[in-house]
Amino acid sequence: MRKKVVVFLVFLVVFICASFVFPGPFLHAASAEAMLQPESVGGLPPLLSVSKLQSRDVKNQTLHMSIGLALTNQDQLSAFLQSLYNPSSPNYHQYLTQDEFAQRFGPTDVQRQAVIDYLTRQAFSVTQVYPDLVDFSGSMSKAERVFGVSINDYLAPDGRVFYSNATAPSLPAYLASFITSVSGLDNANRFSHPPILGQKAPALKPHAAAALPGCRAKRRQPGSLYSKSICQSL
């Protein structure tokens, strides 16, 4: 027993000494492992908290999803927004164009490409790329695996059945640090607007044009559908 303890202590001493003599590989391995640890991004639809779980969704349909990227230089952005409405500031009402804003505060090309590369490695199809958004598609089962979620069917209070991820999606830490959302894992939200009612044109009385200044009505000619009016300048 004593011999085993001595052997263990020897290995421990060698390991500690090696970490001091060759710190690079040890630190690099630890750092790489930390960057790959999953971190939660985004959240869950509010409807989920008042709905009842029905069953696991097994349709495995194709999902159309998006990843939102965070703005950069947040402190500078806050200061700039305050200066826009400060009359004593040289930035007072000096608004930026869309391109200027994206260049100063938008996600970087490196961040955007990192998201695209990750999705491509996971065999998703990237469908559209915007300055702060990447659209992509893939099967529901693949989304569950990549984002570490389970997608279930739920019954909403109004009787509608919808699907949603049960927990917040996660991504490797090196990506999660600049990602704000992963959308498209549910269809809980429905967007609608009240019907747009067409306005009826006011009905005109026969020969109504005759009442207008500078206008005189002309009788309907046989075979014609409408009375003609001729407006004269005053």
Q: What is the pLDDT of residues 87-134, one digit of tens each?
A: 999 999 999 998 899 889 999 999 999 999 999 999 999 999 999 999
Tell me the C-alpha distance between 92 and 224, whole Å. 64
Tell me the C-alpha distance between 27 and 44, whole Å. 36
Q: Which residues pair with 228 in a beta bridge?
A: 218
- CA distances for 137 relative to 109, 144, 181, 188, angstroms: 21, 13, 15, 18
| Whole-number pLDDT of residue 106 | 92
Tell me the C-alpha distance between 206 and 217, whole Å. 9
Sheet architecture: strand order including 151-155 = 52-56, 151-155, 161-165
Question: 3-class SS at 85?
Answer: coil
Tell me the C-alpha distance between 183 and 160, whole Å. 20
pTM across the whole model: 0.66
Identify whether the C-beta of residue 134 lies closer than 8 Å to the C-beta of residue 69: yes
Structure tokens, 95: 């608004």
User: How do 133-139 and 62-69 pair as beta strands?
Assistant: antiparallel
Evaluate if residue 49 carries a pLDDT over 90.
yes
| Whole-number pLDDT of residue 10 | 45
| Whole-number pLDDT of residue 25 | 54
Tell me the C-alpha distance between 146 and 149, whole Å. 8
| Whole-number pLDDT of residue 34 | 78
Per-residue pLDDT tens over the stretch 53-63:
999 887 889 99
Q: Which of 66-75, 123-132, 142-151, 207-216 has the lowest mean pLDDT?
A: 207-216
